[in-house]
């Protein structure tokens, strides 16, 4: 495996156990410079990255605290301001723009995680902001109330426990489709179910009296504990004028 592939395969999450060690300003700069190198549609980079230092703010608004947190927002504000500045009519937002810009934003976030990993810095992606009071977050971070939406956060720091295993990833039929889409048949669904329970997958799940299989636990317990926040997210996207 070459160095790039090794780095990609070694990426793993630190689920909140960040030490008090700070990442250096130089490393943060390298991560941010790498992040914005991600592919972007029409050279727009319709995102903003909010760098958070304050651990109390991270904990309260993002649920996790590391050395730094990067909040990646889909953001059309800059583009709208540029259009106005140049006296151009330009409509920003709408579902197609959101899909494209959310893709740009996620690519920038993943590039930041890869860059951090290359510097020996651990990370965690979290969409915890969507489980919180979004209005409060907008106020705290002074996010523009229009055309800006926090998509994903990346917590950066140093893990206290490097021995935590990386979770496995599904592979094979049903994930990668060659030439045309292939819907899993019953045998393949059984194999897929078993993939989750393969100890090599390191899903952190041990069969117990209540749940024999990972997916039983996933569908019956894990999913049921989260409140459905579809309405809040949709309302916020409409409030920002990103969705009409």
Q: Given the rule CB under 6 A, which residues bind ligand FMN?
A: 12-13, 15, 124-128, 152, 166-167
φ/ψ (deg, to 5) at 243: -105, 140
Minimum distance from CB of 224 to ligand FMN (Å)? Answer: 17
Rounded distance, CA 231 to CA 128, Å?
Answer: 16
Minimum distance from CB of 218 to ligand FMN (Å)? Answer: 12
Nearer to ligand FMN, 100 or 128 (CB): 128
Question: DSSP secondary structure string, 5-40?
Answer: HHHHHH--B--S-B-SPPPPHHHHHHHHHHHTTS--
Nearer to ligand FMN, 43 or 206 (CB): 206
Rounded distance, CA 111 to CA 157, Å?
Answer: 16
Minimum distance from CB of 156 to ligand FMN (Å)? Answer: 14
Minimum distance from CB of 228 to ligand FMN (Å)? Answer: 16
User: HSE of 107 in the Cβ direction (CA atoms, 13 Å)?
Assistant: 14
241's tokens: 């004028």
Nearer to ligand FMN, 69 or 92 (CB): 69
Nearer to ligand FMN, 167 or 177 (CB): 167
Minimum distance from CB of 243 to ligand FMN (Å)? Answer: 19
Element spanning 196, H or E: helix 186-197
Minimum distance from CB of 125 to ligand FMN (Å)? Answer: 4
Closest CA to 159 of 127, 128, 105, 117: 117
Nearer to ligand FMN, 12 or 78 (CB): 12
Is the Cβ–Cβ distance between 192 and 170 less than 8 Å?
yes
Nearer to ligand FMN, 179 or 199 (CB): 199
- Find where tokens 């920002």 sit: 240
Is the Cβ–Cβ distance between 11 and 117 less than 8 Å?
yes
């Amino acid at each position: 495996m070459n160095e790039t592939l090794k780095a990609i395969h070694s990426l793993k999450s630190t689920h909140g156990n960040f030490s008090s060690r700070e990442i250096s300003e130089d490393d943060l700069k390298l991560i941010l410079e790498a992040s914005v190198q991600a592919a972007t549609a029409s050279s727009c980079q319709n995102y903003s990255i909010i760098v958070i230092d304050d651990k109390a703010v991270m904990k309260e608004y993002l649920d996790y605290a590391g050395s730094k947190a990067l909040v990646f927002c889909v953001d059309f504000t800059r583009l709208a301001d540029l259009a106005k500045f140049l006296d151009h009519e330009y409509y920003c937002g709408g579902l197609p723009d959101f899909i494209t810009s959310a893709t740009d934003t996620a690519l920038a976030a993943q590039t930041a995680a890869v860059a951090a990993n290359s510097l020996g810095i651990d990370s965690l992606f979290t969409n915890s902001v969507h489980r919180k009071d979004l209005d409060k977050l907008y106020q705290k971070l002074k996010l523009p109330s229009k055309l800006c939406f926090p998509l994903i956060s990346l917590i950066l720091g140093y893990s206290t426990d490097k021995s935590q295993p990386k979770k496995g990833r599904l592979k094979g039929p049903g994930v990668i489709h060659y030439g045309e889409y292939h819907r899993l048949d019953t045998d393949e669904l059984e194999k897929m179910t078993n993939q989750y329970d393969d100890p090599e997958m390191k899903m952190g799940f041990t069969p117990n009296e209540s749940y024999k299989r990972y997916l039983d636990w996933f569908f019956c317990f894990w999913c049921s504990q989260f409140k459905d926040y579809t309405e809040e997210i949709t309302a916020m996207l409409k409030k920002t004028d990103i969705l009409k």
